[in-house]
Structure 1
Amino acid sequence: MKKWLGLTLGVLSAVGGFVDIGDIVENGLVGARYGMSLTWVIVLGVIGIATYAHMSGRIVAVSGRPVYDLVRERLGAKAALANLVGSLLITLLTLAAEIGGVALVIELATGVDHLVWVLLVGVGLWLVVWRVRFQTMEQTLGFAGLAVAVFVVAVFCLDPDWGTLGSQVVRVTPPEGEPLPTYLYHAIALFGSAMTPYEVFFFSSGGVEEKWSRADLAVVKMNSFVGFPLGGLLGLGIAAATAAVLLPAGVQVDNISQVLLPVALSLGGVGLVIGLFGFAATTVGAALETGLSAGYAVAQFFGWEWGKRVRPAGAARFHLAVALSLLAGALVVQTGVDPVALTEYSLVFSAVALPLTYLPVLIVANDTDYLGEHVNGRISNTLGLLTLVVVVLAAAAAIPLMIATGAGA
């Protein structure tokens, strides 16, 4: 049992990375519009994030320090500041989207407008960060988020045309009549949702919270190469469900209630409740990840005491940074901005910021001064470099495609 509990950091990180509000909307949207023809993007995202999560986790286990701490030391304050500013802005934008996502899920469950819930959600998240132990939070939300597997069950219950779904999976071009630029725009948004910068901050800092050491290298590998692929599978389940039901009906996804339609159709009220519960768990988990990641990044840059392993009074500036981040995110949503639209923009700008996050990780993971014999091997470097090439291409194309396609319209 202890072995499986050791997986929950990877599961929580992966659920936050693959089934947060951005992924719920984007997976549902691409499934309803393109079927399974963007499966290759999710596969690339899984390989990329699992590879870099393993690097960052190994750095923590060997050095006892989080990745961002070593980035600042290895690359200097200027490079670390560029990394901090780029990643932090995207993390805060993502945090606002996640808070909005939690409020939207509550609106679906209660019928009360999501704006009523936004500040209450922000306060609730702050109370969890302030009072709940890291491992309790990690295990509870990690396992609760697995309720999204109801979409995988729904696909089998729908008994779709498996031949059609299979032909869509192996296709890497847009369906007939769909413009290539819009297809590529959504491919970049989907890739950005898998590789969001906060995942590395959260995963590596979570390793410090859990006191990983060299003895935990197997746990790091298991979290990286089991937890993140599991998150990718849940994302594929959402896409497959909407591809099976909404694509043939010509229904376009522009809100999360439409994403739940396949589950309600195949499993009825029980499935709908489980789906809502899963969305609540994943959006709350992602909001906590992004809020904590903002605090981790700021505190580690300035050398403050940080983490939930420290009493709040002993890490007051870290907790203040998290509280201000949550407040900023809540206030953005409280202005009335559409959380779904905010989600789309956060995914695209996330893609733009990816090189600032992942190149420093690759550099530190090859530094023998920090890792000794545990530096990257040939496979890790090959996958890391190939992912970095995709990251740079996505970053270069994201804004032009957003402008050219009207944000994927």
Structure 2
Amino acid sequence: MNTATARAFTRGARELIRTRSLATDAAPLEKTAFYDLHLSLGGKMVPFAGYELPVQYTGHGVKKEHLHTRAENCASLFDVSHMGQIRWHGKDKVAFIEKMVCGDIEVLNPGEGKLSLIMNESGGIVDDTVISNAGDYIYMVVNGACKHKDMAHFEKYMSEYGMDVQMEYLEDQQLLALQGPGAAAALGRLAPSLDFSTMPFMAGTETEVAGIGACRVTRCGYTGEDGFEISVDYGNAPKLAEALLDQPEVNPCGLGARDSLRLEAGLCLYGNDLDEATNPVEGALTWTIGGPKSRRRQEQGFLGASTFLTPEGKLKKQTRKRIGLAGMKAPAREHTEIFTADGSEKIGEVTSGGFGPTFKAALAIGYVPPAHAKVGTEVAVSVRGKMQSCVVTKMPFTETSYFRVPE
């Protein structure tokens, strides 16, 4: 790695930590069940979403960890235990959740899941979430920095609606993400009961892994690669992590690479690319609701729907849209201003940016008016006082590898 690229990674890691750290003197940092394991592996611990988590590992570094995750027959293990895990119970659980999120949850069969958005009354995005039908309950994973806000939001409407629904916060459950082309091979040795050939992306089940019972395995992740998230009880969590790290494909991976991986995959970071002032149309996430004739677009019924959907389910016009940017010489970080190609008019702002090790260039996500959002449109960004030309680019920036069951 050359000096300029190394500096870019360092700045990117610092920016990630700064924007996501919620620690204060009044709120001591929490530790996951893997804290001692991180230290033994050389993890460089940083504050993140109220926890101490590794940004990278000694002898590895962000770029090496990133490239290992995407390499053939390789996989990386991430500690994502800061994220919130919730079980929903009660006969009205699906009906209640459909008031809170924009996606079609009723359509999910047992074992199926999807990404959705938690909404507020003004049409803003409270959080993004993965929701799974676990048969007897609905399983939900929310962002670590948002989990307490999310639960307060849910509790407000549970009280208001008076429906038969109960929310169970799985405070002691830990969460690991195993990501990469070799993830299925590595996990398969430890969970022989799973048939990955019939398990599509976003499917999930409860099974034994490495001799540990009642592990919830979901084929999902936030890297653009095939992979799995594994929920495990606190006491057995280190044993599970060690068993996964013993597999020849698997290396530990930190927050720095997790961010560059999701950026290449064109995936949003809540708090940067999405917030409560951004609706799904602006965020280019209307696919989470469905097409023009879908039940959710037609019936609506979720918080804030009328603010960006017409009564007929059509999308209302917006003043900005989320886009990808590439072609700049140096990374454009959060809050970097976006201009017209000639630099004469400010038209938007970068919300996430960095260097893509697989993409082999700087890339960014940001917002501009719809008139400037078409792929191929030339624009400019101001990086450290200097204008750089770039172009609106289709996302994801790199090819994704989500597993689909062959027809």
User: 1 or 2, which has the higher strand percentage?
Assistant: 2
* TM-score strictly above 0.5: no
TM-score normalised by the chain length of structure 2: 0.25
* Greater Rg over alpha carbons, structure: 2
- Structure with the greater relative contact order (CA < 8 A, sep ≥ 6): 1 or 2? 1
